[in-house]
Amino acid sequence: MSAAHASRGWWPRTLRLRVFFILLAGLAAAYGLSLAALGAERYLSAKAVMLGTLESDVATSINILDRSPAEDRPWLAEWLARGSYRFVIGPGEPGVAETSTRRREIAARIEEAAGGRFPVAIRSIPGGRERLQAHLTLNDGSPLTIDITPRGVMPVASWLPWVLAAQMVLLVLCAWLAMNQALRPLGELAAAADALDPNRKGTDLSETGPSEVAHAARAFNAMRRRIAGYLEERVQILAAISHDLQTPITRMRLRADMAPDSPERDKLVHDLREIEALVQDGIAYARSAHGSGEKEARIDLAAFVDSLACDYQDTGKDVTVAALVEGVVSTKPHALRRILSNFLDNALKFAGTAEIGVERGRDGRTVITVRDRGPGIPEDMLDAVMQPFVRLEGSRSRDTGGTGLGLAIAGQLAGSIGGSVRLYNRTDGGGLAAELVLP
């Protein structure tokens, strides 16, 4: 695996999650910077308050202890103690010279508090906690030690972590809401593009919402209408050409039939029949694209399929019925017959036999399947053969390859009755299965 692929392995694949994480990371970073700035400000404020208070209070306390009788100094030292420092009557503990910047600042404030009247020696006391001692001598020669334990940042209220957690949850919710508002129209547009079928009348995308979303919806709706118009024009041209060709073809057939018998005449008649069949398929495709105008009727599906199979059997074709499900469906009988006939004709052409079955799907829809044991269709061509004029056989002979419109007509008619067509290769013994799903 390349380094680029490895570095992208943790990155979400969906745009929704990517935008969410980017937005959340930006908000969390800004929130973290705000907290860091607030913490720094609290630290500096606490430091300024501590140093200012230390200087003024220590100066006052030293003067009080210096002017008080020696026997009163112990209880005065306890009374003058504060949270960050206390007074000890005595020499204190030995230590080392202070090194950190903070300790030097505290030492400078203690020396300023002494006012130069009392020489001060500042020492750092080793240990786990930060601790300083200032050693000085009062005017009567008594040693005095100021034991200092600097405080850090001011203590945090117990409710503050809960507020911070609630703010983070609010950030997540806001990021998710903003991401959904931004990407929901994109998802609707993608779903509409996936469902786009110019052969079926669909509903337009809603053109409400923000101006960018409304503009994209209007552009998509206009594109869908243009595509439908182009296909409509193409089908109309095909229908017009096919219809207009029927008259000259009929005249040519009459003239060929009146000509003397000869091999050339027979070849000409054969060619005219192929042209006539191609024209009829073109007209049938155009009609299936526009809808035949046939009205729906309720039919007994088992009897309908059995009757269709018997018609083929009467002409000597090997068509069998594998299974039938009793029931009545509402559909267009002529369109349904044309679809199944196209499936059966293809199966008989390439396999010599065909098997038809009807079953009820798990979702309650009716599935009619025509199976054969022919060579099947390459997997990468299963979708392509449903398009007009696509043929797997390249000889261009109608006896072996047809016109390439049979499956396209079946797909158009299936759409007109609210169904769908699917082709797949059989895995148990080979062959092809053409499946029609009825609503």
Convert the pLDDT of each residue in 318-361 to its tens digit. Answer: 998 887 777 788 888 888 888 888 889 888 988 889 999 888 87
Pick the more confident residue, 430 or 117.
430
Based on the fold, state whether residues 216 and 134 are members of the same structural domain.
Answer: no
In sequence order, the β-bridge partners of residue 319 are: 354
Q: Residue 290's pLDDT band (boundaries 50, 70, 90)?
A: low
Based on the fold, state whether residues 309 and 230 are members of the same structural domain.
Answer: no
Whole-number pLDDT of residue 3: 45
Tokens of 410: 């079946």
CA distance 404 to 323: 29
Listed residues 128, 148, 168: the one ending a domain? 148
In sequence order, the β-bridge partners of residue 88 are: 145
**Looking at the domain assignment, is residue 404 inside a domain?**
yes
**Looking at the domain assignment, is residue 163 inside a domain?**
no
CATH of the domain at 225: 1.10.287.130
Whole-number pLDDT of residue 299: 87
Range of 236's domain?
Answer: 196-290
H/E run at residue 87: strand 85-89
Q: What is the DSSP letter of 71?
A: G
Based on the fold, state whether residues 214 and 124 are members of the same structural domain.
Answer: no
pLDDT at 435 over 80: yes
Average pLDDT over residues 27-41: 79
Q: What is the DSSP letter of 261?
A: P
pLDDT at 241 over 80: no
**Helical packing angle, 333-351 and 263-290, nearest 10°:** 140
Listed residues 256, 273, 290: the one ending a domain? 290
Lowest-pLDDT range of 24-38, 48-62, 280-294, 399-413: 280-294
Listed residues 242, 274, 290: the one ending a domain? 290
If one counts the domains in the chain, the total is 3
CA distance 122 to 107: 6
Based on the fold, state whether residues 224 and 140 are members of the same structural domain.
Answer: no
Based on the fold, state whether residues 268 and 351 are members of the same structural domain.
Answer: no
Report yes or no: 436 and 419 within 8 Å, Cβ to Cβ.
yes
Q: What is the pLDDT of residues 46-69, one digit of tens each?
A: 666 666 666 677 777 878 888 888
The whole-chain average pLDDT of the chain stands at 77
Whole-number pLDDT of residue 224: 80
CATH of the domain at 325: 3.30.565.10
Pick the more confident residue, 55 or 31.
31
**Looking at the domain assignment, is residue 134 inside a domain?**
yes
pLDDT at 14 over 50: yes
Based on the fold, state whether residues 210 and 256 are members of the same structural domain.
Answer: yes
**Looking at the domain assignment, is residue 277 inside a domain?**
yes
pLDDT at 433 over 60: yes
CA distance 279 to 269: 15
Average pLDDT over residues 259-284: 77
**Looking at the domain assignment, is residue 176 inside a domain?**
no
Based on the fold, state whether residues 24 and 144 are members of the same structural domain.
Answer: yes
CATH of the domain at 128: 3.30.450.300
pLDDT at 366 over 80: yes
Based on the fold, state whether residues 304 and 425 are members of the same structural domain.
Answer: yes
Q: What is the pLDDT of residues 65-103, one digit of tens each?
A: 888 888 888 888 888 887 777 888 888 777 776 666 666
pLDDT at 245 over 60: yes
Average pLDDT over residues 140-162: 73
Q: What is the widest separation between alpha-carbon atoms in the chain? A: 154
Q: What is the pLDDT of residues 195-204, one digit of tens each?
A: 776 556 667 7
Show Cβ contacts of residue 111 under 8 Å, excluding neighbours closer than 6 positions: 120, 122
Q: Residue 2's pLDDT band (boundaries 50, 70, 90)?
A: very low
Whole-number pLDDT of residue 152: 53
Based on the fold, state whether residues 240 and 355 are members of the same structural domain.
Answer: no
Listed residue (306, 367, 343) closest to 432, CA to CA? 343
- DSSP H helical ranges for 195-315: 211-258, 263-290, 301-314
Based on the fold, state whether residues 262 and 399 are members of the same structural domain.
Answer: no
**Looking at the domain assignment, is residue 4 inside a domain?**
no
Based on the fold, state whether residues 326 and 267 are members of the same structural domain.
Answer: no
Q: What is the pLDDT of residues 156-195, one digit of tens each?
A: 567 777 887 888 888 788 878 877 777 777 777 777 777 7
Average pLDDT over residues 254-274: 80
Average pLDDT over residues 274-285: 72
**Looking at the domain assignment, is residue 266 inside a domain?**
yes
Average pLDDT over residues 139-146: 83
Entry pTM: 0.47
Based on the fold, state whether residues 399 and 334 are members of the same structural domain.
Answer: yes
Whole-number pLDDT of residue 228: 76
